């Protein structure tokens, strides 16, 4: 136990890596299947590149944990194997920080569309790098100060600011989501968002606890093995739950996974509204849409809701 706790390669380490690999495969399937099965056209603008960036950040987070927390037994001979490459740059600004920033960017858009009822004042491709700057600055500071030891662990004085930065971004995400809690969505967007946040917050809580134990108590062998196992497994659950939130994917992709009304008719009479009896029945008049109604009431109209989601998937909002 003492040997593999320091050098890596314990049985629990390989189990954690296997769980992480399965979660990432499920993550990729969650992204690809709606488009492959239902032949949905690829979304444009932020509806496409934000989910792709989330996949990239999720991969970076999981791989950086494996490389920096001694899961595998190997000698660090090259510069790209250093602690500062994986534990600082890839795990923070390109991993967890980028993942949280993507989620905050999406919640920011929902807040302005559904609460402020206007387009966000900052485009996503500008807003995302801006909220990522604190992570980049923190990584640069750690790279200069060199607080990590040969096992990629930092001192106690660095734990508090690092954990505080994680907590601040989680609080921002919960805050934006709480601001739109009163909107009644017919397509369960908010409910799915809250479910994902609750699962993610629980995972982050366990992840932070395992992170602190792994960083501080590096002299206790069994605690190192248990904490790094929990670190990787909870991170795997975190990235999967984050992407499973419906707002991580285009709204039309979510609807395509649910039961749709049949568009084909068996006979020409059914298409024209003529039943088998031969009597022509009048069609129900289309409901009149009052643009002055609140947005949550407008979304109760099926035709309006479908048009709205079509615009939202293209990054547009014609009526705002």
CA distance 179 to 109: 12
Residue 289 lies in a domain: no
Give the CATH number of the domain where residue 24 resides.
1.20.1070.10
Asked whether residue 292 is assigned to any structural domain, the reply reads: no
Stretch among 67-81, 96-110, 135-149 having the lowest mean pLDDT: 67-81
53 in a domain, yes or no?
yes
- Report, as an integer, the average pLDDT of 78-91: 85
Domain count, the chain: 1
Q: Are 203 and 241 in contact (CB under 8 A)?
A: yes
The residue among 50, 180, 192, 200 whose CA lies nearest residue 127 is 50
Beta carbons within 10 angstroms of residue 56's beta carbon: 16
Q: Which pLDDT band, with edges at 50, 70 and 90, does 192 fall under?
A: low
At 69 the three-state DSSP class reads: coil
Q: What is the 3-state secondary structure (H, E, C) of 223-289?
A: HHHHHHHHHHHHHHHHHHHHHHCHHHCCHHHHHHCCCCCCCCCCCHHHHHCCCCCCCCCCCCCCCCC
Q: How much is the pLDDT for 240?
A: 85
Question: Can you read off the two tokens belonging to residue 24?
Answer: 């990432």
Q: Among 166-170, 197-201, 282-286, whose mean pLDDT is lowest?
A: 282-286
Residue 295 forms part of a structural domain: no
The verdict on residue 247 lying in a domain is yes
Domain for residue 170, yes or no? yes
Residue 175: what pLDDT? 82
**Based on the number of CB atoms within 10 Å of its own CB, is 179 exposed (0-12), middle (13-18) or buried (19 or more)?**
middle
Q: Is residue 314 part of a domain?
A: no
- Do the domain assignments include residue 288? no
The model carries a pTM of: 0.72
Average pLDDT over the chain, rounded to whole? Answer: 75
Position 230 pLDDT exceeds 50:
yes
Q: Poorest-confidence range of 17-31, 150-164, 170-184, 197-211?
A: 170-184
Q: Which domain holds residue 148?
A: 2-256
Give the total residue count for the chain. 320
Q: Which pLDDT score, from 0 to 100, does residue 251 have?
A: 41
pLDDT bucket at 274, cuts 50 / 70 / 90: low
Is the pLDDT at 254 greater than 50? The verdict is no
Q: Report residue 127's pLDDT band, with 50, 70 and 90 as the boundaries.
A: very high
* Tens digits of residue pLDDT in 132-152: 999 999 999 999 998 888 778
Q: What is the pLDDT of residue 112?
A: 82
Report, as an integer, the average pLDDT of 177-181. Answer: 69
């Amino acid at each position: 136990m003492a040997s593999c706790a320091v050098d890596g390669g314990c049985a629990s380490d390989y189990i954690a890596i296997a769980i992480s690999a399965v979660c990432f495969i499920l993550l990729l399937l969650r992204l690809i299947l709606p488009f492959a099965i239902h032949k949905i056209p690829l979304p444009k603008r932020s509806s496409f590149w934000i989910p792709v960036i989330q996949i990239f950040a999720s991969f970076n987070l999981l791989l950086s944990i494996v490389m920096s927390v001694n899961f595998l037994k190997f000698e660090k001979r090259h510069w790209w194997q250093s602690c500062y490459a994986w534990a600082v740059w890839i795990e923070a600004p390109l991993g967890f920080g980028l993942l949280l920033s993507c989620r905050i960017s999406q919640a920011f858009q929902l807040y302005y569309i559904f609460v402020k009822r206007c387009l966000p004042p900052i485009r996503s491709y500008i807003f995302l790098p801006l909220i990522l700057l604190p992570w980049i600055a923190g990584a640069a500071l750690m790279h200069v100060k060199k607080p990590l030891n040969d096992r990629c662990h930092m001192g106690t004085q660095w734990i508090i600011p690092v954990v505080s930065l994680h907590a601040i971004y989680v609080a921002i995400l919960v805050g934006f989501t709480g601001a739109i809690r009163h909107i009644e969505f017919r397509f369960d967007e908010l409910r799915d968002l809250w479910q994902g946040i609750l699962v993610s917050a629980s995972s982050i809580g366990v992840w932070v606890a395992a992170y602190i134990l792994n960083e501080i108590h590096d002299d206790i062998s069994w605690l190192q093995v248990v904490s790094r196992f929990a670190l990787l497994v909870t991170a795997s659950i975190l990235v999967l739950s984050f992407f499973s939130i419906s707002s991580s994917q285009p709204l039309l992709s979510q609807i395509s996974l649910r039961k749709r009304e049949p568009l084909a008719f068996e006979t020409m009479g059914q298409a024209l509204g003529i039943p088998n009896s031969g009597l022509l029945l009048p069609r129900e008049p289309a409901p009149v849409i009052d643009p002055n109604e609140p947005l949550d009431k407008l979304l109760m109209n099926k035709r309006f809701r479908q048009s709205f989601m079509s615009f939202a998937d293209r990054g547009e909002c014609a009526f705002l």
